Amino acid sequence: MVIDRINFLKDAINRANYEYYVEDNPTISDFEYDKMFAELKQLESENPLFISPDSPTQRVGSVSEKFFPYKHKYRLYSLDNTYEYEDLEDWYKKIVKEYGPQELVCELKIDGLAMALTYEKGIFVRGVTRGDGITGEDITNNLKTVKAIPLKLFEPVDIEVRGEVYMPKESFEKLNEENLKNGEKLFANPRNAAAGSIRQLDSKITAKRDLSMFCYTAILTGNVENPPKNHYDSLMYLKKLGFKVNPNIRLCKNAKEAVEYCKEWDEKRFSLDYATDGVVIKVNSFAVQQELGFTSRAPKWATAFKFPPEEVTTKLIGIEESVGKTGAITPVAILEPVQLGGSTVSRASLHNFDEVGRLDVRIGDRVYIKKAAEIIPKVVKVIDDEEHYKLPEYQPPVKCPSCGSELHIHEEEVNLYCDNPDCPAKRCAKIEYWVSKDAMDIDKIGPSIIEQLYNKGFAKTPVDLYKLSMQDFMQLDLVKEKSAFNMYNSIQESKHRPLSRFLTAFTIRNVGKETAGVLAQEFSTLENIQSASVEELSKVEGVGEIIAQDIYDFFRKPETVQMLEELKSLGVEPALPVQNISDKLKGKTFVLTGTLQSMTRDEASEKIKLLGGKTSSSVSKNTSYVIAGESAGSKLDKAQKLGVIILTENDFLSMIG
Ligand SMILES: [Zn+2]
């Protein structure tokens, strides 16, 4: 019967959505998914009577004239909040005095938009914004496009669920990049982007935005057997029904453990892919919750701890002009030390001198600084009060702070450059880059050692490192025999790194780690690259004519030729390429994206190469397969657009056997 097939497909697709968007653990390939989706759509168009509201085809969206107000059946309260741990402890003490020690549930407070979702017999029937807590707006059609929201629950219950719709940070960045390209307005933060996306009258636009939702409150409106008796169990129950519940919830025994949770996440929050501005702490027991009740605006059994802001002000006490390996001079803000996002900050990025001019940063200014995940803090704004205008305007340097040479602006670039090949700062930066993790990975040699080696005349170039003896290291300040041995040794160990690392370390113009990897893969040996023509080089993926010319020119410079000869005479040569163990994947190009479970991406590309295949960093029509791990991003989108076959990790594992 056609209805059986429709039901089968509906369930299978809803299950796949759940695995992908709620559990982050897809078990079928996008190809299978698309095939089932197409079949369901076909069957429904032939049998329109069988289209039901829980069908995944109903997620595509429609256009509304306006949103209608909807009065909430159960009021959405706000939460009292505090920035002080002490307030949290006081709140707990008051409860303990009356009801004895209580378990507390800690949850990250997601910086998104609160929603109330209604399900009847397990089917999603209505989604309403928080509004003022009493009346919101019915945006059911828009919420249907959010794939983390189940259209049909695993149990046919009547329930109202609350949660927070949010936009992952990565999707927010991507959306802003696109808007910038199209000359559209930029969103200030992920929360604004989520708000702008969820209240679109055309829900097809909402569908295109990558929104998700964490759920945190369950109100059972019908009868169920063994309803949850405390908040923690109700969260587990929501999970069981198919909702996405934040994985970082914790059941704490007392306020002390809750404070620890807050401290822990104040530090770790920047590593998350969504914005969180604090922690919600709730009394676990429903019985005690009921006893405690509400004030006029907030429950007495819950409170929120707010993280200190990610943006703070401090005084800019100087601008350091730092010389990079290419000779580019970059300004770095030196700050009066200030606490920001759990650490003390005394330096911040100013990008380049154009940015300094744009911000009108002057030494002595009070400035706003901001921290983002794993990125050094940056100066975002100057407080332009009266004091600011009394300060002298900052003048970019005209001479190199290291060697005093006159600085130049290179064509079509904003940076100032020191073009003196013997500039000490530039030479040290080159050696620093040579030993860095992405290049030759000589981990025992740090910036201060390099400076000493340079100043004592022991190492003026990276090549000189390989001429050093243990005795040379012993002559440096504060270096004892053991560390001298370690330094010497870590240099010796780097003599036969893979070709890709050599190519990175050479600092060829426009050739970074990625391109170096592709070149090494394509040409196998240094000799092959050296003798390659511009035409041959430009055929390599990601290497256009300009980069090809840069590479070609680099290998013909007399100083390059001399460097390579010297390295060779010192026994420093790339390791021979690993021999393929089979040709199973010959002629196939793979692109890896997202996080894999059973191996790292580097390990996966190693496997592909051993089987004769190739990997690339970008998706094009020449890509044979995209292997998509967890939280795969724009590469996956591009693969879908180009119709490239997408493999899950399991698909890939069974392909390579
Ligand atoms: Zn210089």
Chain position carrying tokens 């196939």? 588
Q: What is the mean pLDDT of residues 632-636?
A: 78
Q: How many CB atoms lie within 10 A of CB 287?
A: 11
Q: Which residues sit with Cβ closer than 5 angstroms to ligand 1, an ion?
A: 400, 402-403, 405, 418, 420, 423
pLDDT in tens, 395-451: 999 999 999 999 998 877 788 999 999 999 999 999 999 999 889 999 899 999 999
Q: What is the pLDDT of residues 560-597, one digit of tens each?
A: 999 999 999 999 999 877 666 777 888 888 998 888 88
Q: Is the pLDDT of residue 34 over 80?
A: yes
Give the position of tokens 């004895």: 100
Q: 373 pLDDT band (50/70/90 cuts)?
A: very low
- The label of the residue with tokens 């040379």 reads 472
User: How many angstroms separate the CA atoms of 323 and 542, rounded?
Assistant: 28
DSSP 11-43: HHHHHHHIIIIISS---S-HHHHHHHHHHHHHH
Say what the pLDDT of residue 425 is.
Answer: 95
Q: Using pLDDT thresholds of 50, 70 and 90, give the confidence band for residue 372.
A: low
* CA–CA separation, 225 and 260 (whole Å): 36
How many Å lie between the centroid of ligand 1 and the Cα of residue 325?
Answer: 10
**What pLDDT shows up at residue 126?**
95
Ligand 1 centre from 419 Cα, in Å? 7
CATH superfamily, domain at 311-417: Nucleic acid-binding proteins (2.40.50.140)
Q: What is the pLDDT of residue 513?
A: 83
- Residue 446 CA, ligand 1 centroid: distance in Å: 21
Q: Is the pLDDT of residue 342 over 70?
A: no
Place domain 421-496 in its CATH homologous superfamily.
5' to 3' exonuclease, C-terminal subdomain (1.10.150.20)
Ligand 1 center to 256 CA (angstroms): 55
Q: What pTM was computed for the model?
A: 0.53
Q: Name the token pair of 121.
A: 């017999």
Q: What is the pLDDT of residue 375?
A: 57
pLDDT tens digits, one per residue of 167-197:
998 898 888 888 877 777 777 778 888 988 8
374, pLDDT greater than 60: no
Domain boundaries, the chain: 2-59, 81-306, 311-417, 421-496, 499-569, 589-656
More confident residue, 231 or 169: 231
2-59 and 81-306 have identical folds: no
Is the model's pLDDT at 352 over the cut of 80?
yes
Residue 580 has a pLDDT of 64
Q: From the CA of 594, how far away is ligand 1's center (Å)?
A: 41
CATH of region 81-306: 3.30.470.30
Give the active site residue among 109, 147, 371, 607. 109
* Percent of the chain topping pLDDT 90: 53
Ligand 1 geometric centre to CA of 416 (Å): 11
Q: What is the pLDDT of residues 519-555, one digit of tens each?
A: 988 898 999 999 999 999 998 877 888 899 999 999 9
Name the CATH superfamily housing domain 499-569: 5' to 3' exonuclease, C-terminal subdomain (1.10.150.20)
Ligand 1 centre distance from Cα of residue 458 (Å): 19
The per-residue pLDDT for 579 is 66
Distance 405 CA to ligand 1 centre (A): 6
Asked which of 279-288, 298-307, 414-423, 627-636 is least confident by mean pLDDT, the reply is 627-636
Domain 2-59 maps to which CATH number in 1.10.10.10, 3.40.228.10, 3.40.640.10, 1.10.287.610? 1.10.287.610
What pLDDT was estimated at residue 603? 83
Confidence tier at 453 by pLDDT (50, 70, 90): very high
109 is catalytic: yes
Query: What is the Å distance from ligand 1's center to 406 Cα?
Result: 8
- Determine the distance separating the centroid of ligand 1 and the alpha carbon of 396, expressed in angstroms: 15
- Separation of 436 CA from ligand 1 center, angstroms? 21
| pLDDT tier, 77 (very low <50, low <70, confident <90, very high otherwise) | confident
State in Å: Cα 366 to ligand 1 middle: 30
Average pLDDT taken over every residue of the chain: 89
Q: Which of 16, 19, 135, 146 is nearest to 71 (CA)?
A: 135
Q: Per DSSP, what are the bridge partners of residue 312?
A: 369
What DSSP assignment string belongs to 461-524? SHHHHTT--HHHHHTSTT--HHHHHHHHHHHHHGGG--HHHHHHHTT-TT--HHHHHHHHHHH-
Provide the CATH number for the domain formed by 589-656 in this structure.
3.40.50.10190
